[in-house]
Structure 1
Amino acid sequence: MRTVPLAALVDRADLGLTVLVGEDALDRPVCWAHVSELVDPVPYLLGQELLLTAGVTLPDDLDAYVSGLVGRGVSALGFGVTPVHNAVPTDLVDACRAQGLPLVAVPPGTPFLAVSQAVGTALAEAQNAELRLLADSQRAMTRAAVRPGPVDGTLAALADALDCWALLLDADGEVLARTGGAPTPSDDLRALADRVGAGRGPRSAGTRVDGDHVVLTPVEHIGRRPSVLVIGRARSLSVADRAVVAVALALLALLRQDPDPAARLAARLVFGGDPADLLERLVGDSSFQVVAGAGEEHYERLAETLGTPLVDVLAEGFRAVVAAGSVTAPDLVVGVSAPATAAELPAAEREAAALLRRARATGRSTWAEEGTGIATLVDPASAQRFACRLLAPLAEQRSPSAGELVETARAWLAQHGNWDRSAAALGVHRNSVRHRMAHVERALGLDLSSAQHRTDLWCAINWLPPGWPVPEQSE
Structure 2
Amino acid sequence: MVVLHNRPTMVVQTVPLRDLVARVDLGLTVLCGTDALDRPIRWAHVSELADPSPYLVGEELLLTAGVRFPSDVPAYVAGLVSKGVSAIGFGVEPEFPTVPSSLVEACAAQGMPLLEVPPSTPFLAVSQALGALLAEIAVREQRMLADSQRALTRAATRVRPVESVLTTLAVVLNCRADLVDPTSAPDELASLVARVASGTGPRSASTQVGEDHVTLDPVESAVLVVRRDTALSPAERAVVAVALALLGLLRRDVESERGQIARVAASALLRSQVADVTGVLGPGPYRVVAGESRADYDVLAQRYGPLVSKEGDGFLALVPAAFEVSGPVGVSSPFAEPASAPAPISAVEDAAAEATALLARAKATGAPALPASDLSSLVDPVAARAFARRELAALLGRPELVETLRVWLGQHGSWDRAAAVLGVHRNSVRHRISHVERLLGRDLGTADARASLWLALTWLD
Superposition TM-score, scaled by structure 2 size: 0.53
Distance 1:192-1:49 versus aligned 2 partners, 3 A rule: closer
Distance 1:70-1:98 versus aligned 2 partners, 3 A rule: same
Q: State yes or no: 1:121 paired with 2:132.
A: yes
The whole-number CA distance in structure 2 between the counterparts of 1:58 and 1:331 is 80
Aligned match of 2:245 in 241, 245, 250?
Answer: 250
The whole-number CA distance in structure 2 between the counterparts of 1:64 and 1:132 is 44
Aligned match of 1:229 in 217, 224, 229?
Answer: 224
Q: State yes or no: 1:199 paired with 2:199.
A: yes
Matched residue, 1:302 = 293
Q: State yes or no: 1:160 paired with 2:171.
A: yes
* Residue-by-residue CA offset, 1:336-363 (whole Å, 9 max, x unaligned): xxxxxxxxxxxxxxxxxxxxxxxxxxxx
- Give runs of aligned pairs for residues 53-452 of structure 1, distance below 5 A: 53-170=64-181, 172-173=183-184, 185-220=185-220, 226-258=221-253, 300=291, 302-303=293-294
Aligned-CA RMSD value: 3.5
Distance 1:219-1:315 versus aligned 2 partners, 3 A rule: farther
Distance 1:305-1:19 versus aligned 2 partners, 3 A rule: same
Q: State yes or no: 1:35 paired with 2:46.
A: yes
Distance 1:155-1:21 versus aligned 2 partners, 3 A rule: same
Distance 1:29-1:301 versus aligned 2 partners, 3 A rule: closer
**Residue 237 of structure 1: how far off its partner (Å):** 2.3
Residue 195 of structure 1 aligns to which amino acid in structure 2?
R
Matched residue, 2:61 = 50
Residue 254 of structure 1 aligns to which amino acid in structure 2?
L
Q: State yes or no: 1:3 paired with 2:11.
A: no
* Residue-by-residue CA offset, 1:131-154 (whole Å, 9 max, x unaligned): 122111111111111122111111
The whole-number CA distance in structure 1 between the counterparts of 2:218 and 2:312 is 31
The whole-number CA distance in structure 1 between the counterparts of 2:48 and 2:106 is 18
% same residue: 58
Distance 1:129-1:315 versus aligned 2 partners, 3 A rule: farther
Residue 193 of structure 1 aligns to which amino acid in structure 2?
V
Distance 1:234-1:59 versus aligned 2 partners, 3 A rule: same
The whole-number CA distance in structure 1 between the counterparts of 2:187 and 2:132 is 47
* Residue-by-residue CA offset, 1:279-298 (whole Å, 9 max, x unaligned): xxxxxxxxxxxxxxxxxx96
SS in 1 for 2:147: helix
The whole-number CA distance in structure 2 between the counterparts of 1:51 and 1:198 is 45
* Residue-by-residue CA offset, 1:241-289 (whole Å, 9 max, x unaligned): 2211111110011112249xxxxxxxxxxxxxxxxxxxxxxxxxxxxxx
Number of residues of Structure 1 aligned to a counterpart in Structure 2:
272
SS in 2 for 1:67: helix
Q: 1 or 2, which has the higher helix percentage?
A: 2
SS in 2 for 1:14: helix
Distance 1:47-1:139 versus aligned 2 partners, 3 A rule: same
**Residue 304 of structure 1: how far off its partner (Å):** 7.4
The whole-number CA distance in structure 2 between the counterparts of 1:91 and 1:126 is 36
**Residue 193 of structure 1: how far off its partner (Å):** 2.1
More contact order relative to length (CA 8 Å, sep ≥ 6) = 2
Residue 80 of structure 1 aligns to which amino acid in structure 2?
G
Residue 18 of structure 2 aligns to which amino acid in structure 1?
A
* Residue-by-residue CA offset, 1:350-391 (whole Å, 9 max, x unaligned): xxxxxxxxxxxxxxxxxxxxxxxxxxxxxxxxxxxxxxxxxx
SS in 1 for 2:36: coil
The whole-number CA distance in structure 1 between the counterparts of 2:235 and 2:168 is 16
Contact 2:159 2:292 in 1 (8 A): no
The whole-number CA distance in structure 1 between the counterparts of 2:117 and 2:205 is 43
SS in 1 for 2:202: coil
**Residue 91 of structure 1: how far off its partner (Å):** 1.0
Q: State yes or no: 1:12 paired with 2:3.
A: no
Distance 1:35-1:298 versus aligned 2 partners, 3 A rule: same
Residue 111 of structure 2 aligns to which amino acid in structure 1?
G
Distance 1:227-1:75 versus aligned 2 partners, 3 A rule: same
**Residue 37 of structure 1: how far off its partner (Å):** 1.8
**Residue 155 of structure 1: how far off its partner (Å):** 0.5
Distance 1:172-1:319 versus aligned 2 partners, 3 A rule: closer
The whole-number CA distance in structure 1 between the counterparts of 2:91 and 2:305 is 70
The whole-number CA distance in structure 2 between the counterparts of 1:22 and 1:130 is 28
Residue 137 of structure 2 aligns to which amino acid in structure 1?
A
Distance 1:303-1:96 versus aligned 2 partners, 3 A rule: same
**Residue 303 of structure 1: how far off its partner (Å):** 4.7
Distance 1:250-1:19 versus aligned 2 partners, 3 A rule: same
Contact 2:159 2:311 in 1 (8 A): no
SS in 2 for 1:19: strand
Residue 236 of structure 1 aligns to which amino acid in structure 2?
A
- Give runs of aligned pairs for residues 454-469 of structure 1, distance below 5 A: none
**Residue 48 of structure 1: how far off its partner (Å):** 1.3
Distance 1:160-1:114 versus aligned 2 partners, 3 A rule: same
Distance 1:110-1:304 versus aligned 2 partners, 3 A rule: farther
Residue 206 of structure 1 aligns to which amino acid in structure 2?
S
The whole-number CA distance in structure 1 between the counterparts of 2:250 and 2:306 is 18
The whole-number CA distance in structure 1 between the counterparts of 2:108 and 2:157 is 56
Contact 2:295 2:330 in 1 (8 A): no
The whole-number CA distance in structure 2 between the counterparts of 1:168 and 1:233 is 15
Larger Rg belongs to = 1
SS in 1 for 2:291: helix
Residue 192 of structure 1 aligns to which amino acid in structure 2?
L
The whole-number CA distance in structure 2 between the counterparts of 1:138 and 1:82 is 51
The whole-number CA distance in structure 2 between the counterparts of 1:207 and 1:116 is 34
The whole-number CA distance in structure 2 between the counterparts of 1:25 and 1:63 is 19
The whole-number CA distance in structure 2 between the counterparts of 1:14 and 1:163 is 33
Residue 244 of structure 1 aligns to which amino acid in structure 2?
V
Residue 215 of structure 2 aligns to which amino acid in structure 1?
V
The whole-number CA distance in structure 1 between the counterparts of 2:232 and 2:84 is 22
Distance 1:130-1:315 versus aligned 2 partners, 3 A rule: farther
Residue 9 of structure 1 aligns to which amino acid in structure 2?
L
Residue 251 of structure 2 aligns to which amino acid in structure 1?
R
Residue 29 of structure 2 aligns to which amino acid in structure 1?
T
